[in-house]
């Protein structure tokens, strides 16, 4: 930073020339620091994707995304508009999310293999404890039945209550996650209604759900039902916000 301050007069001359702002800034850094650009440092490769002057990033990004070199680049030059910057931001966010998803999938596979050597065998979700074992038959946990209007609890005096407040927020979030999973697996299905669902709290696992959804098959026009199993895992002493889909 001190070098840049000391050489600011040179930067002013560059900025007053006919060079584009990006090129002028690059030249300013090189002149002030007396350093040249390198493509590798401490074993890490740094790649720059250079844009042809006849192209704009937001128009060509769908073609570039097929190139591994573009997806691994740390900079794209030059940008002509805010639309270019926005399109590149969205693309590289999706690239990083895909990397994280791939790492999570690989970790789940590894955990599944490791769990095969345990006494209880593999559990779902991966690395989450199985259902706790009640000390006797009188303390077996019960599933709560719910619709979008009511929830049925195991209570001595009143076993049905309106679905409202935090219970409703919980159920609606789970239903949304169930629909997202089912419709991603079978895009031709047309959602009709939520038939009902069940939930069970386990102190070792968290909250487990089963949601029954009614769809219309787009090909046959027949009414079909899909049951989705979900789990809201315990993290520390709190239920996680994210709902995880298993199967249906």
Q: Where are the domains of the chain?
A: 1-37, 44-122, 144-233
Q: Name which of 72-86, 154-168, 207-221 the model is least confident about.
A: 72-86
Q: Greater confidence, 3 or 57? A: 57
Please name which of 3, 55, 9, 50 lies closest in space to residue 30, comparing C-alpha atoms.
3
Distances 234 to 48, 86, 109, 141, 153 between C-alpha atoms, Å: 43, 37, 21, 17, 21
The confidence score (pLDDT) of residue 159 equals 86
Does residue 16 have a pLDDT over 60? no
For residues 194-218, give the mean pLDDT. 93
How confident is the model over 89-148, as pLDDT tens digits?
888 899 999 999 999 889 888 877 776 776 666 666 766 777 778 888 888 888 999 999
- Give the pLDDT band of residue 228 (cuts 50, 70, 90): very high
How confident is the model over 46-100, as pLDDT tens digits?
788 877 766 787 788 888 888 888 888 887 877 778 888 888 888 889 999 999 9
Distances 178 to 46, 92, 214 between C-alpha atoms, Å: 41, 28, 12
DSSP 34: T
Tell me which fold the domain 144-233 belongs to: Nuclear Transport Factor 2; Chain: A, (3.10.450)
């Amino acid at each position: 930073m001190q070098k840049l301050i000391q050489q600011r007069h040179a930067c002013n001359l560059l900025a007053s020339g006919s060079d584009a702002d990006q090129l002028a800034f690059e030249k300013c850094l090189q002149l002030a620091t007396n350093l040249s650009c390198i493509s590798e440092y401490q074993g890490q490769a740094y790649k720059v994707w250079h844009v042809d002057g006849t192209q704009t990033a937001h128009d060509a990004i769908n073609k570039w995304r097929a190139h591994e070199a573009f997806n691994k680049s740390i900079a794209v030059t030059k940008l002509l508009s805010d639309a270019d910057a926005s399109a590149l931001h969205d693309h590289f966010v999706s690239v990083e999310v895909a990397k994280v998803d791939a790492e999570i999938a690989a970790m789940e596979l590894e955990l599944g293999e490791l769990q095969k050597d345990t006494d209880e065998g593999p559990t779902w979700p991966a690395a989450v404890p199985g259902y706790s074992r009640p000390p006797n038959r009188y303390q077996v946990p019960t599933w709560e039945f719910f619709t979008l209007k009511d929830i049925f609890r195991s209570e001595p005096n009143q076993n049905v209550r309106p679905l409202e407040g935090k219970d409703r927020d919980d159920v609606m979030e789970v239903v949304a996650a169930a629909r997202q999973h089912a419709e991603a697996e079978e895009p031709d299905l047309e959602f009709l209604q939520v038939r009902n669902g069940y939930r069970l709290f386990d102190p070792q696992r968290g909250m487990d759900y089963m949601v029954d959804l009614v769809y219309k098959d787009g090909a046959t026009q027949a009414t079909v039902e899909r049951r989705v199993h979900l789990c809201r895992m315990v993290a520390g002493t709190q239920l996680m916000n994210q709902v995880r889909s298993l199967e249906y």
